[in-house]
């Protein structure tokens, strides 16, 4: 009688720990000294996309068959854990569905007799937030530098541009190529400085209630000549009677120009740019700019908006940075969705409330 009570108690205890093991939000894997999987909980199954019964008794490293190139890194982690007792590491893995995930994982040797435990935590969201923080930090520093330097460079540039213009008639034919290089490089420096200067807050910033569709119409008109040159067509769709947005119209126009220019530039043999503006349920104005260009590889999307990140021979890598900054000042966001070979969608969200960061 007493025995059964004890057994029941033990059973209840075991069931309790079973529940804790199964329902833990982190992935838990128990494995033996032969490196075979003894148990894995529900979160673990989800992380690896493999079912429990297919994993029992299998080698631990089988979990990572889909990321062959990471196996060495994981082996090292496990060996170190076995030597020193415990080990914590992080790893970035491209999942089967193509998403990139960040994991913290830690291993403890002999958690109970003959069993070792590895805990895996999905920290993708945290990693993304840290990256955002780093990015905006860098933006602030670049912004401050820009204000100082750009003005200093602008003055000598004006003199250079003026005098080089005066020299033009006296350039000999055989030197005309050098002359062209000098003027085109000067123009390039000029464009970099101009983009830089936008970072330093211009004085005449004036936020006002404006029709975003109107700003977009003006932008499309402005760029239509360049679009024709590249054999690019615009398709636009603006929702009727949208509310006005409290914004700096010239700054917004700058963002639209940057994004549409990029869209034109990724379609050297033509294509369509789709521009849509509508209101979302969350009281945002949503502006979508979609191209049919070559797209952006997954691991490069995170680099967008970094100063000087460019894949173009003549690019400055400042257009997106400036755009991100401006939208940030409007309390909005820019999201990027891209499929390689198909195209890229830039989605700007502008809140319809009146609060603006000062």
Note the residues at the interface with ligand ADP (CB under 6 A).
Answer: 258, 262-263, 266, 291, 293, 296, 304, 309-312, 315-321, 344
Q: Which residues lie across from 335 on neighbouring strands?
A: 347
Nearest to ligand ADP of 268, 315 (CB atom): 315
Q: Per-residue b/e over 266-278, b at no fewer than 16 CB within 10 Å?
A: bbeeebebbbbbe
CB of 100 to ligand ADP, least distance (A): 18
**What b/e string do you get for 223-254 counting C-beta neighbours within 10 Å, with b at 16 or more?**
beeebeeeebebeeebeeeeeebbbbbebbbb
Whole-number minimum distance, CB 79 to Mg ion, in Å?
47
| Sign of the CA dihedral running 245, 247, 248, 254 | negative
Q: Is 286 in the site for Mg ion (CB under 5 A)?
A: no
CB of 308 to ligand ADP, least distance (A): 9
Q: Are 308 and 251 in contact (CB under 8 A)?
A: no
Q: Which of 343, 350, 167, 152 is nearest to 251 (CA)?
A: 350
Choose the stretch contacting Mg ion; rule: CB under 5 A; options: 7-15, 245-253, 315-323, 337-345: 315-323
Residue 234's binding partner among ligand ADP, Mg ion, none (Cβ under 5 to 8 angstroms by kind) is none
Which residues on neighbouring strands pair with residue 100, listed in sequence order? 94
From the list ligand ADP, Mg ion, none, pick the one residue 277 interacts with, judged by a Cβ distance below 5 to 8 Å according to partner type.
none
Contacts with Mg ion by CB under 5 A: the residue count is 2
Tokens read off for 47: 């992380």
In angstroms, what is the minimal distance from the CB of 26 to ligand ADP?
36
- Closest contact distance (angstroms) between CB of 250 and ligand ADP is 18
DSSP state of 36: B
Joined tokens for residue 217: 């119409």
The answer to whether the CB of 332 falls within 8 A of the CB of 348 is: yes
Closest distance between Mg ion and the C-beta of residue 250, in Å?
18
The site partner of 311 among Mg ion, ligand ADP, none (C-beta below 5 to 8 Å per kind) is: ligand ADP
**CB of 242 within 8 A of CB of 278?**
yes
Among 319, 321, 332, 345, binds Mg ion (CB under 5 A): 319
Smaller CB distance to Mg ion: residue 60 or 255? Answer: 255
The number of angstroms, rounded, from the C-alpha of 297 to the middle of its chain's C-alpha atoms is: 11
Q: Is 262 in the site for Mg ion (CB under 5 A)?
A: yes
By CB under 5 A, name the binding residues for Mg ion: 262, 319
């Amino acid at each position: 009688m007493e025995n059964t009570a004890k057994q029941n108690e033990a059973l209840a205890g075991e069931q309790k720990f079973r529940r804790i093991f199964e329902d833990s939000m982190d992935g838990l894997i128990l494995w033996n000294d032969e490196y075979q999987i003894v148990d894995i909980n529900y979160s673990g199954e989800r992380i690896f996309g493999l079912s429990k019964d297919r994993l029992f008794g299998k080698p631990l490293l089988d979990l990572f068959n889909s990321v062959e190139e990471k196996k060495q890194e994981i082996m090292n982690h496990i060996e170190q854990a076995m030597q020193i007792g415990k080990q914590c590491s992080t790893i970035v893995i491209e999942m089967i569905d193509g998403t990139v995930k960040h994991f913290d994982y830690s291993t403890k040797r002999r958690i109970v007799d003959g069993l070792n435990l590895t805990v895996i935590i999905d920290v993708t969201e945290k990693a993304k937030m840290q990256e955002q923080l780093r990015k905006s930090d860098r933006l602030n520093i670049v912004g401050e530098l820009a204000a100082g330097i750009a003005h200093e460079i602008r003055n000598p540039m004006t003199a250079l541009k003026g005098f080089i213009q005066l020299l033009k008639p006296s350039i000999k034919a055989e030197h005309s190529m050098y002359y062209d290089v000098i003027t085109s490089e000067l123009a390039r420096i000029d464009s970099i400085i101009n983009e830089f200067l936008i970072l330093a807050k211009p004085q005449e910033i004036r936020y006002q209630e404006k029709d975003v569709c109107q700003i977009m119409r003006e932008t499309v008109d402005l760029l239509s000549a360049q679009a024709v040159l590249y054999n690019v067509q615009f398709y636009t769709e603006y929702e009727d009677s949208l509310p006005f947005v409290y914004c700096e119209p010239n700054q917004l126009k700058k963002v639209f120009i940057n994004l549409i220019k990029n869209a034109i530039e990724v379609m050297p043999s033509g294509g369509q740019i789709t521009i849509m503006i509508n209101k979302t349920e969350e009281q945002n104005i949503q502006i979508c700019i979609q191209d049919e260009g070559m797209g952006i590889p997954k691991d490069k999307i995170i680099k967008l908006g970094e100063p000087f990140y460019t894949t173009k021979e003549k690019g400055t890598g400042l257009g997106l940075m400036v755009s991100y900054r401006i939208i940030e000042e409007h309390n909005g966001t820019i999201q990027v969705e891209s499929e390689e070979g198909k195209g890229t969608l830039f989605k700007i969200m502008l809140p319809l409330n009146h609060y603006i960061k000062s």
